[in-house]
A = this chain, B = another copy of it.
Amino acid sequence: MTAEIVEIEALSINGTGDEEDVVTPWNVTSKNDTGIDYDKLIKKFGSSKIDDELINRFEKITQKRPHHFLRRGIFFSHRDMHTILNLYEQGKPFYLYTGRGPSSDSMHIGHLIPFMFCKWLQDVFDVPLVIQLTDDEKAIWKNIDIESAIKLAHNNAKDIIACGFNLSKTFIFSNLEHIGNNPAFYQNMIRVQRCVTYNQVKGIFGFGDSDPIGKIAFPPTQAAPAISGTFPFIFQDKKVACLIPCAIDQDPYFRMTRDVTPKIGYPKPALLHSTFFPALQGSKTKMSASDNLTAVFLTDTPKQIKNKINKYAFSGGQATVEEHRRLGGNCEVDVSYQWLRFFLEDDEKLKKIREGYTSGQILSGEIKKELIEVLQPLVAKHQEARSKITDDILKEFMKPRDLGFVYKS
């Protein structure tokens, strides 16, 4: 898992619209004004669109209103989600798996997306969730020392726990700590490693001959948690289906995983893919944990949030108030509107903002104000929840343990 959900390089100001988007776990680039073409990506990756039929079926089966991430196409692509719904319909179990590559002390609001969604899925389906912190990946790619990587993992884990996960259903682990504490994990790494050739990972991930072998060896480490046998303390010896919500840049790992798991007697994991969260400066700016002006961090004060958005949020508005009233704003590129799609839950209100901004009734300063009023309490609430996550609570979540999983065949 990588730290940056969005890594869009500003290579050209005016893309031709015909350039190929690049989406890998370490590089997401688009030369188009509106960012990644997600429909094209679905075709390229061979996944399926989350369409109305799936969303309706979701609602029918779960008796819950689909999350706004689903309704708004933020989670837009899937693999085998119908299989997961079939299992749920039949009363058969599955589990959730997601992860994060801890690369900086502070997470930004975009990092919350997969966790907010997992929390909701966990509540709706009442299933176990495993969260992998790939501190080993970070130690290899960023060349930070092992001890620091583990510290980052712990820090990030506290932010994740603050999203409200159910302790009795959630296991969070750092690779650098847990793999040496769970023989089944290393054994499944070996089972996967021997099924995948260098040519394959070269093709999937673009590794080169001068890359350290740590990089080449890593993909099976991210694959292993999609095999329920990796967690015998949770699933005993049951082969339980797995659903992975993640940003679509992680799909290469799980394409590889889906190729391997049937060969070792396990079901292919299902996937739910999200779009990327845009940087404050717009879809073409690379969001970076090291440049704290490109994102709103979970540690930002209300004042910092206000200033950042007012000063840096890329505007889809017109150059003058008069022009704006006459021509209206462009929601497709306006970062305030894009971020509101992620964080403003009220559909009616979002619709009104969209209409108002598009028609020119709502000015850029006003849409920014709407966003500020959503984010300030959201971040404050997160900070309050985060402040209650003690080292002891962290330890409880990170302890390998029986989650009371019962297999009903």
Taking Cβ atoms with an 8 Å cutoff, the residues of A that contact B are 136, 139-140, 143, 146, 175-177, 179-187, 190-191, 193-199, 201-202, 207-214, 216-217, 219-220
Not counting A146-B187, A179-B186, A198-B211, a sample of 16 additional A-B residue pairs whose C-beta atoms are within 8 angstroms of each other reads A139-B194, A140-B193, A176-B190, A179-B180, A180-B182, A180-B185, A180-B186, A193-B212, A193-B213, A193-B217, A194-B214, A196-B212, A199-B209, A201-B213, A213-B217, A213-B219
With A and B bound together, what is the CA distance between A177 and B186 in angstroms? 9
When A199-B209, A211-B198 are in contact, do A136 and B190 touch as well, CB less than 8 Å? yes
When A146-B190, A187-B146 are in contact, do A195 and B180 touch as well, CB less than 8 Å? no
Q: Main SS of the interface on chain A?
A: helix
Interface contact A184-B180, CB-CB below 8 Å: yes
Instruction: Collect the chain B residues with CB atoms within 8 Å of residue A139's CB.
Output: 190, 194
Q: How far is the CB of A217 from chain B (nearest CB, A)?
A: 3
Q: How far is the CB of A261 from chain B (nearest CB, A)?
A: 15
Chain copies in complex: 2
When A180-B185, A181-B180, A183-B179 are in contact, do A211 and B193 touch as well, CB less than 8 Å? no
Q: How far is the CB of A204 from chain B (nearest CB, A)?
A: 11
When A197-B213, A198-B210, A216-B213 are in contact, do A177 and B183 touch as well, CB less than 8 Å? yes
Interface contact B194-A143, CB-CB below 8 Å: yes
Nearest-neighbor residue (CB-CB) of A220 within chain B? B213
When A176-B190, A187-B180 are in contact, do A197 and B209 touch as well, CB less than 8 Å? yes
Interface contact B186-A176, CB-CB below 8 Å: yes
Interface contact B210-A199, CB-CB below 8 Å: yes
Q: How far is the CB of A135 from chain B (nearest CB, A)?
A: 9
Q: Which 6 A-B pairs have the closest CB atoms?
A: A180-B183, A193-B214, A217-B217, A194-B214, A180-B186, A179-B186
With A and B bound together, what is the CA distance between A207 and B209 in angstroms? 11
